A = this chain, B = another copy of it.
């Protein structure tokens, strides 16, 4: 099967909302009045972001999910995406699985595949996603204020538990591993929460490199510091009750686990009820974990209100 048959068989459908979709030099979109277009791009590289043995359907899901997570963090609604696929060879079973996982999430999030590129080389998946957000309502990293509350969606650190099991550093019961693994392999982009937080959250970012690192982007862009209460953060590791982890390791997984694809966001204290309502409306768990203060960096606070020393680092591809 050649390049064009491959595209036709697995990655072509008639345009839905797009003016022109897969199959010309460019795709064409007609922007909606009053909206800004939001763009993000993310690559997944074999051996770096996923193992060669990963289920291709889960990989298809994840490649799109990590991009949609960036739209969620901006409060944008998905509109379309482009897929660049570099494959060592044409493996129809792999392609069929990959396409199935990709289309399932694309349909579920109403995000249309409008174009792409297929080349030969080491397995590499790149997606560029396009969303829409009403002018002036995008959630940015730079809007946080001293006194704002800090929240996270969902749970944190479970994907890291699965990674540590794969690395042979941790042994956990089968049912715990299965849940942790699905958190790693099938993240849920928090799109509905992102939309519900428009006009409510003062800042937001998605957590891909760990809470400390990604919250750090908000702090830097907004020139504030944060106090995080460990008693509120610790329970975010969903599988903790089933494991016999030392508290320090549990905390590390929550604060610097990576691959969470949850949102960390801030909102002024008078919006607490509205944030709770946004969580309920979007069917998304939301936990308040701290407060912004003047200064810089993240300070961990224990149950007695004392500051704790910590050295949690964000994931960096080249550090």
**Is the Cβ of B82 less than 8 Å from the Cβ of A319?**
no
When C-beta atoms are compared, the residue in chain B nearest to A263 turns out to be B25
B residues within 8 A CB of A19?
36
**Is the Cβ of A117 less than 8 Å from the Cβ of B26?**
no
A293-B19 Cα distance, complex, nearest whole Å: 28
When C-beta atoms are compared, the residue in chain B nearest to A1 turns out to be B318
B residues within 8 A CB of A24?
74, 140-142, 221
**Is the Cβ of B40 less than 8 Å from the Cβ of A115?**
yes
**Is the Cβ of B4 less than 8 Å from the Cβ of A316?**
yes
Determine whether A76 belongs to the interface, using a CB cutoff of 8 Å to chain B.
yes
Interface size bracket, A side = 35 or more
Contact with B along A156-174 (1 / 0, CB 8 A): 0000000000000000000
B residues within 8 A CB of A138?
20, 26, 28
**Is the Cβ of A115 less than 8 Å from the Cβ of B73?**
no
When C-beta atoms are compared, the residue in chain B nearest to A142 turns out to be B24
**Is the Cβ of A3 less than 8 Å from the Cβ of B36?**
no
When C-beta atoms are compared, the residue in chain B nearest to A42 turns out to be B117
Determine whether A240 belongs to the interface, using a CB cutoff of 8 Å to chain B.
no
A74-B118 Cα distance, complex, nearest whole Å: 20
A10-B133 Cα distance, complex, nearest whole Å: 29
Given contacts A30-B36, A39-B27, contact A47 B121 (CB under 8 A): yes
When C-beta atoms are compared, the residue in chain B nearest to A315 turns out to be B3
Binds B, one of A84-92, A270-278, A297-305: A84-92
Contact with B along A65-84 (1 / 0, CB 8 A): 00000110110100010101
**Is the Cβ of B25 less than 8 Å from the Cβ of A206?**
yes
Determine whether A37 belongs to the interface, using a CB cutoff of 8 Å to chain B.
yes
Contact of A25 among B46, B74, B116, B119 (CB under 8 A): B74
Known: A45-B120, A48-B121. 4 other contacts (CB 8 A): A20-B138, A41-B117, A117-B126, A120-B317
Residue ranges of A at the interface with B (Cβ–Cβ < 8 Å)? 1-4, 6, 19-20, 23-31, 35-43, 45-49, 70-71, 73-74, 76, 80, 82, 84, 86-87, 89-90, 114-122, 124, 126, 128, 130-131, 133, 135, 138, 140-142, 204-206, 221, 316-319
